[in-house]
Amino acid sequence: MELAYAPLLTSVKGSAFPQSLEETFAFLKQFEQTQVGIDARGKSEGSIVRISDRKQIRKIRFEDYERTFRK
């Protein structure tokens, strides 16, 4: 189908990865624009984070952090 794959956006050592919700949200914000939109470019849903051996993979989503920090 020749779909674009999700690119590697950055590599961060585990000890340097954000620890708090605030730090993680700030880290996520640098990836606000999608790199692989199917229909159009626009706001990213979030980002996939994983350890190098892929034993742990998680998605951090803008919606979750925006809901958490909504006032």
Domain boundaries, the chain: 18-69
The greatest distance separating any two alpha carbons of the chain, rounded to the nearest whole angstrom, comes to 43
Query: If we measure between CA atoms, which residue out of 11, 45, 18 comes closest to residue 31?
Result: 45
The pLDDT value given to residue 37:
62
Q: 60: how many CB neighbours lie within 10 A of its CB?
A: 16
- What is the pLDDT at residue 40? 60
Sign of CA dihedral 8, 13, 19, 23: negative
Model confidence over 17-66: pLDDT tens digits?
999 999 999 999 998 887 666 666 678 889 989 998 999 999 999 999 99
